[in-house]
Structure 1
């Protein structure tokens, strides 16, 4: 079978299934089957029977809305690759902006102490350690399955990874941390039906839902960050695009924070909040 025809048919199959990026997903799955980079796909003439069968099986799973990254086993995040699969939240491109903010804040210091709460796959912690090798990076994850993925991804990075609850983590670092960063669960329970099938049916619910207004974890984060940070230290946390006012209000209402600000993603949507602990 001609590879070009297979790619066109695959994209149409995914489009009919409601996949948001059918052409790219079709190409990424074919590149995975052939073990080549995307740039080499136009050079491929034909698929043999085994390749066709493997491609068809992966396309059927993707059409059933299984996450692309579960099918390939990897997710790219800034300059690092992560192993992902069932039991761990698949990192999203928009979270790279929050990681970039944390790296920028920490890079102004000679030996910054950075804590990644709710680390999940370890994406933010790994990115910080990769881009700032001088940083002292710590990460915590509560869920047992997600922790196992983080262990794989953070092996040999120098990151201090612990299993536990962000509400009680890192008592030994109290008052010494320069940057706290977190991608907490933030989806309101009432928004269940509006969540994309890839996330709702495959990402762990512990990483998605956070009370009736979606801000329960944000409130826990505010209290923990205030304890961990040194005076003048900073915190950054991702939130839903509808929480551009309510998430910053969690910090502003306590009187503990200065420079509370919200930040937009590349699509112009409210995406993460930052604040500085008052001295």
Structure 2
């Protein structure tokens, strides 16, 4: 996936500093969870996995942009991301903002120009990705997350934040994978429910690791959420409560996979990995 992202950036006729800044954040690595989810969903449904790559590149471009902007002083004001200086620390705030803007905007071009999609598929994917990443999705969730700082919120409010901020892009990955595999409406509906649980599992484990994780493995300081007065699952439910809450979602996610005929698939193994990961 990294190679595909870098190849696309190299095709663009853009200022050298903008290119270096953009590639810097792409090369920061990461789990590439969203493309993996898209591929495993398509694979589990016996679809043509070659079709997922333009949508996966576009999705990862949006995810990378969101991290660049999330690290900015006006947001989380982070110094490190995955063990490296954040983009605005390595370059400057203006360059980081523009790199994020460029990744967001050009992501839609990747889908629109992909010759593996017909016109109907392009419209569907662009519409769903816009919904997931825009004001009704990730952007709205980011604002709710900032508004919840230094506030006491309910578990329902916390989950709404993460359904939007984290869950929507994960949901797009799974929905795109099932759509491109030609799954029927019932299966796609069940998998959208699975995606919601996966998003919450991912976020709860993230919050748990911020309390008990190894900062050398994670590439960032632990306790940053508490330092930024963020509402998290451990702060709302306590550490044991957060772990119990996560386990209930793991069970529900696996039930969805069974209903979709994907019990024992690699998606089930990934569900366990996301629940137990240490970075």
Report the TM-score, using the length of structure 2 for normalisation: 0.30
Greater percentage in strand: 1
Tell which structure's C-alpha radius of gyration is larger.
1
Greater percentage in helix: 2
Larger relative contact order, structure 1 or 2 (CA cutoff 8 Å, min sep 6): 2
Report the TM-score, using the length of structure 1 for normalisation: 0.30
